């Protein structure tokens, strides 16, 4: 546990709030840019070739990763708004950066990106995984099976 005095606690709280706001706004901005740069998930996107679809999703993921890395990198180099020890500053940076960036993306990234990922999985990867992993039952009650339970005579 890191010992802090009341002034450090106030500084960390202030830095956490400001950093959280920054990352939510960054996530919203990136979501907005992605929405305007890439095709929406619709019949036109579905009619494109598989390499195009995979490239579309891959480039979107790459942009998300690049922005996340460089934003975290520059925030780590930047001095905190409210002065604290470097150890406490890094603690705030590490805990806030990914959580609130992802939160901002989740809130503002439209369903198009998620639908693209789900479509690719269910259309191309789902059938393969369906042959490998049991489709019915649950691991929790040890009822996993490849065939429908009613076909086995189970209820």
Q: What's the structural domain count of the chain? A: 1
CB 44 within 8 A of CB 66: no
Residue 139 falls inside a structural domain: no
Residue 149 falls inside a structural domain: no
Residue 143 falls inside a structural domain: no
Residue 150 falls inside a structural domain: no
Separation of alpha carbons 62 and 60, rounded Å: 5
Residue 98, domain extent: 7-132
Q: So what's the pLDDT on residue 127?
A: 82
Residue 75 falls inside a structural domain: yes
Residue 144 falls inside a structural domain: no
Residue 137 falls inside a structural domain: no
Q: So what's the pLDDT on residue 125?
A: 84
pTM for this entry? 0.75
Separation of alpha carbons 5 and 85, rounded Å: 11
Strand, helix or coil for residue 125: helix
Task: Give the pLDDT mean for 60-83.
Answer: 89
Residue 113 falls inside a structural domain: yes
């Amino acid at each position: 546990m890191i010992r802090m005095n009341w002034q450090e606690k106030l500084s960390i709280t202030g830095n956490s709030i400001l950093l959280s706001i920054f990352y939510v706004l960054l996530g919203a901005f990136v979501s907005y840019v992605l929405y305007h740069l890439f095709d929406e998930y619709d019949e036109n996107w579905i009619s494109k070739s598989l390499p195009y679809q995979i490239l579309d999703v891959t480039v979107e993921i790459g942009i998300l990763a690049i922005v996340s890395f460089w934003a975290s990198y520059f925030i780590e180099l930047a001095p905190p708004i409210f002065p604290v020890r470097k150890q406490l500053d890094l603690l705030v940076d590490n805990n806030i950066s990914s959580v609130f960036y992802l939160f901002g993306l989740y809130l503002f990234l439209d369903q198009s990106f998620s639908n693209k990922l789900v479509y690719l999985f269910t259309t191309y990867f789902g059938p393969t995984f369906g042959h490998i992993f049991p489709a019915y039952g649950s691991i929790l009650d040890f009822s996993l099976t490849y065939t429908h339970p009613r076909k086995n005579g189970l209820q």
